[in-house]
């Protein structure tokens, strides 16, 4: 059986091909699954997709009609998949429920420190042999307060690093993490966390309940000199409201690895095109904002685990097994 993998990055391709070679043939495509590319999947019982694939009703129905019975998504998030429609169509859907939490937590800290210490501006200056320090002053993280929204495995890893910096820890989640509490984390209401934190980081999944978790009111609750980091999902922040606050001169820095309208932009080269998204175009002009293209997960360890789990999900499907990664079981 040939597996068709959509949205494969150049660095991922050899890992995917090597992982599948002992089990099934695999064809890797750099294009993402959408209405234009879905005909390519015709005749493939199993496809693998990335987090930016369009797996809404129209795409799922087209896939099912053309013979696809299993979708192996190479990510933890699955908000791009209409699971109700997939179940109605008798399709099996699996995801990667776990990979290195350190990859994302460490990258979130990379964003936080980069905006705090003005690393991008400093690097640009020194390339032009401008070695002035004007405008590059940051601040110590030691003794300040880190607010962690979402204290699962990634949030816990972030909190461990914050603890190493000597920071006070505030947490918000539906369940308290005992390890975080051992680090000295105190769980409080979201409003209190936002009001007291010098650094706010997001590590919650995107669901209807968390859409725009950081909305206009939440942004106004934060300190004027806060650092805000989002390495989870773009839809957690109301970006238009964030731009308004940035225009008002608020926030020491904002580090974003995700963007709520990133589909069709991130992972692609748009450098020779006019960007029609006015919000994103405005966002990247602020000197205290750093935007990266959803790369927090992108380490050898994490991608290796993602690929291995994806192969295992496909083998479980062909063998009729079910694991914790299955979102919609085989009918």
Report the catalytic residues.
Answer: 233, 262, 294
Residue of 244, 243, 247, 249 whose CA lies nearest to 225: 249
25, 113, 313, 314, 316 from 323: Cα distances, Å: 23, 38, 8, 11, 8
Q: Give CA–CA dist 207/79, Å, rounded.
A: 7
DSSP of 255-287, one letter per residue?
A: EES--TT-TTTTTS--TTS----HHHHHHTTST
Q: Strand (E) positions, 144-206?
A: 145-149, 168-172, 186-187, 199-202
Give the separation between CA 104 and CA 17, rounded to whole angstroms.
25
Would you tell me how many other CB atoms lie within 10 Å of the CB of residue 31? 12
Of the candidates 210, 290, 235, which has an alpha carbon nearest to the alpha carbon of residue 257?
A: 290
Alpha helices in 170-268 (DSSP H): 178-182, 190-196, 216-221, 239-247
């Amino acid at each position: 059986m040939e597996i068709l993998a959509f949205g494969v990055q150049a660095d991922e391709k050899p890992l995917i091909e090597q992982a599948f070679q002992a089990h099934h043939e695999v064809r890797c495509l750099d294009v993402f699954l959408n209405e234009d590319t879905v005909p390519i999947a015709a005749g493939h019982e199993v496809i693998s997709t990335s987090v930016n694939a369009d797996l809404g009703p129209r795409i799922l129905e087209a896939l099912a009609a053309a013979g696809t019975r299993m979708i192996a998504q190479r990510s933890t998030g699955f908000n791009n998949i209409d699971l109700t429609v997939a179940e109605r169509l008798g399709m099996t859907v699996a995801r990667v429920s776990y990979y290195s939490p350190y990859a994302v937590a460490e990258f979130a800290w990379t964003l936080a420190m980069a905006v705090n210490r003005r690393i991008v501006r400093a690097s640009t200056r020194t390339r032009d042999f401008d070695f002035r320090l004007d405008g590059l002053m940051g601040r110590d993280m030691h003794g300040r307060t880190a607010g962690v929204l979402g204290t699962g495995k990634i949030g816990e890893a972030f909190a461990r690093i914050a603890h190493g910096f000597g920071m006070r820890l505030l947490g918000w989640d539906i369940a308290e993490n005992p390890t975080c509490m051992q680090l000295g984390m105190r769980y409080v209401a979201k409003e209190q966390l936002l009001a007291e934190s010098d650094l706010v980081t997001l590590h919650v999944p995107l669901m209807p309940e968390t859409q725009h978790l950081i909305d206009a009111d939440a942004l106004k609750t934060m300190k004027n000199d806060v650092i805000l980091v989002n390495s989870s999902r773009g839809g957690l922040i109301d970006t238009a409201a964030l731009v308004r606050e940035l225009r008002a001169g608020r926030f020491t820095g904002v580090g974003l690895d995700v963007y709520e309208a990133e589909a069709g932009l991130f992972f692609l080269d748009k450098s020779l095109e006019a960007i029609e998204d006015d919000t994103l175009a405005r966002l990247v002009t602020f000197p205290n904002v750093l935007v990266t293209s959803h790369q927090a997960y992108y380490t050898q360890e994490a991608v290796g685990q993602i690929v291995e789990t994806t192969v295992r999900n496909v083998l479980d499907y062909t063998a009729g097994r079910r694991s914790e990664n299955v979102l919609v079981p085989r009918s």
